[in-house]
Amino acid sequence: MQTVYIGNTLVNDVMLGSQRMDDLLTIKGRAPVTYLVVAGGGGGGNNIGGGGGAGGLLSGSIITAIQQSYTITIGGGAPQNTTSQGSGSNGNDSVLNAFTALKGGGGSGNGFRGITTSSIIGSAGGGSYALTTANTTTSGQGNNGGAGFDASFGSGGGGGGAGAVGSAATGQTTGSEGGNGKQSAINGTLTYYAGGGGGGRATSATLIASGGQGGGGNGGRSFGVADAGDNPTAGSANTGGGGGGSRWGGASFGAAGGSGIAILRYLSSQMEATGGQITTDGFYTIHTFTASGTFQRTS
C-alpha cells in the first residue's frame, strides 16, 4: 500500500492486484520544475550615496501536477530618487506563488539612511558619505551593504549582492564596489544575477566603483559638475541589480535599480506548459518571465 497522486487527485493506499503502482506514481502527472526568482534591485543614494542593494534571489524546485498553474509577479527596480540628498528607493518583490523574493534596499544618501536592519529586503544598500554605517539585512536572500567613508567628502559604500557583501569605502578612490550576485545555468548559460550597485565617489580620479557581477550599476564619480560619463548607471534590467550611488555636486541623484526575473525549467519529456518566453536547451524546456504572468502546466 502507498499514497499516490494521479493528476491533482490524491489516491490513498492504491494496489492493482498484487502489483504496487510505483510506476504510476511517476507517470501520472507528477513532474519536477526548477525555478529561479529574482526581485527588483534598490536604487543608489544621492550626493555621494551608497550603491543600491540587489533584489533577493530564490532558487529551488517544485513538484507540479497536470493543469496546475502558478501566478508569477516580476518586481520592478527602484525608480531614481530625485529628492535632494535623499536615500535610494527600495525595489519591488518578485513572487512565484508562495515563494517571495524580497526587494533590494536603497542605498543611503548624504544625511539620509536607507533601510537598516530588516527582514523585508533582499540585499541592503551601501552607506553614504557623512552617514557611513552600513545598511544590513537579515532575510537570508542577500547580503549587507558596505560602509561609507567620511573624510574629505569621501565615498559611499557598495550595495550588497546575492553572493557577497558590498565593499566598504576606505577612501575617495578605494572600496565602494558592489557585491557580486550568484551564478545560475537555469537558462542554459552560466549567468550572474542580483549584483549590488557601486557607491558614489567625490573625486575626479578615473577609477569608477563598479557594480557587482549580476547587473549592478556603477557608482558615479567626480567633485562638482561632471560629464555625463561620470554619472552613476542603473542596475541592468531583468537581473535584480542595484543602482549605482551618485557622485558629489549639482543634481546628484543615484541611479535606478534593475527589474527582476523568473525562470522555470523542466525535462521536455516529462511535461508541457505555457507562459513566458519559451525556449529549449538540450533535453530541457525553459520559461523566462520578464513581466508578470502565469505558468500553467498543460500535460
Render pLDDT for 236-290 as a digit per residue (tens, 0 to 9).
999 999 999 998 766 679 999 999 999 999 999 999 999 999 999 999 999 999 9
Residue 205 DSSP one-character state: S
Cα gap 9→67, rounded to integer Å: 12
pLDDT of residue 139: 87
CA 287, CA 265: separation in Å to the nearest integer? 6
How is the chain split into domains, by residue range? 4-34+263-297, 35-57+72-262
Give the lowest-confidence range in 161-170, 203-212, 230-239: 203-212
Q: Looking at residue 207, what is its pLDDT? A: 72
Phi, psi at 185, each rounded to 5°: -110, 25
What's the confidence (pLDDT) of residue 27?
47
Are 41 and 55 in contact by the 8 Å Cβ rule? The answer is: yes
Q: Summarize the confidence of residues 207-223 as an average pLDDT.
A: 89
71's enclosing H/E stretch is: strand 69-73
97 secondary structure, DSSP code: T
Question: What's the rounded mean pLDDT across residues 124-129?
Answer: 86
% pLDDT > 70, the chain: 82
With CA atoms as reference, report the closest residue to 40 among 247, 231, 245, 193: 193
Antiparallel, parallel or unpaired: β 15-16 and 182-184: unpaired
- What does the block give as the cell for 278? 519559451
pLDDT of residue 251: 65
Strands (E), 74-230: 94-96, 99-101, 182-184, 191-193
Nine-digit cell at 35? 525555478
Query: Per-residue pLDDT for 232 more than 50?
Result: yes
Instruction: With a cut of 80, say whether residue 66 has pLDDT above it.
Output: yes
Please determine, for residue 113, whether its predicted confidence score (pLDDT) is greater than 70: no
| 49, 222, 267 from 173: Cα distances, Å | 14, 10, 48
pTM: 0.88
3-state secondary structure 15-31: EECCEECHHHHHHCCCE
In contact, 165 and 126? CB cutoff 8 Å: no
